[in-house]
Amino acid sequence: MSAGAEAVVIGASAGAVDALSAVLPALPKGYPLPVMVVVHLPPDKKSVMAELFRGKCAVDVREADDKEPLTGGTVYFAPPDYHLLVEPDRRLSLSSEEQVHFSRPSVDVLFESAADAFGPGLVGVVLTGANADGARGLRAVLAAGGTGLVQTPTTAAAAAMPLAALAAHPAARALTLDQIAAHLRELGGTS
């Protein structure tokens, strides 16, 4: 058990639903850390993610609200067409500023702001996706002393996002989805 993990951020794009289905339902009820997730989705879609995973997960799952304080045992999805950020006082906030990597929400935006707020207490997880979003963000997580986990590219539905993340920082660890799930449980002291 590694001491001091305070929050988890996850980014996923193409293939996200399957990958998240291997990770989020593995978190037990009472999981102590808040988990924030960015999935790339078309902007005009009502978010189906929170609804989809609510039924599958032991932890609470919801779409993030602006200025909501973070609490453990909750998965927060970024709403479609908004960036999700973490404020220094560890509240969530939303922004409709420009797309990053053609995406709003963007993984980089969440990871960079969360790295700022949580420093070494942050765990950043980059899953499957067909773009480079998340690489800069993961670098920020590691630079702030946090932990970086990346889905092993060969096991990802789309390898580009994990590859870019691994290329961005040598200290990031490549793991399968099962290993990532186990690692997150461990970081929460609930293995």
Partner 1 sequence: MSDKTEDIELRLLLEAIHKRYHYDFRGYSVASLKRRLTQARERFGCDTFSQLQDRVLHDPAVLPALLAYLTVQVSELFRDPAYFRAIREQVVPHLKTYPSLKVWVAGCSAGEEVYSLAILFREEGLDERTMFYGTDINPEALKRAEAGVYDLDRLPLFTENHRKAGGKSSLSDYYTAAYGSAVFDKSLRRRTVFSDHSLASDAVFAEVQLVSCRNVLIYFDRDLQDRAVGLFKDSLVRKGFLGLGAKESLRFSAHADAFAPFAPDERVYQKQGDL
Interacting residues with partner 1 (CB under 8 A)? 65-67, 79, 81-83, 85-89, 93-98, 109, 112-113, 116-117
Least gap, CB of 111 to partner 1 (angstroms)? 12
Least gap, CB of 126 to partner 1 (angstroms)? 19
Q: Is 66 known to be catalytic?
A: no
For partner 1, the closer of residues 65 and 178 by Cβ is: 65
Q: Which residue has the tokens 């593995």?
A: 26
Which one of the listed residues 40, 83, 169, 183 is annotated catalytic?
40
For partner 1, the closer of residues 66 and 178 by Cβ is: 66
Q: How far is it, in rounded angstroms, from Cα 48 to Cα 122?
A: 26
Q: Is 89 known to be catalytic?
A: no
Least gap, CB of 85 to partner 1 (angstroms)? 4
Which one of the listed residues 47, 101, 106, 133 is annotated catalytic?
133
Beta pairing class for 35-39 and 60-63: unpaired
Least gap, CB of 106 to partner 1 (angstroms)? 10
Which one of the listed residues 13, 47, 103, 106 is annotated catalytic?
13
Strand order in the sheet with 35-39: 60-63, 74-77, 35-39, 7-12, 122-126, 147-151, 173-175
Q: Is 13 known to be catalytic?
A: yes
Catalytic center residues: 13, 40, 133
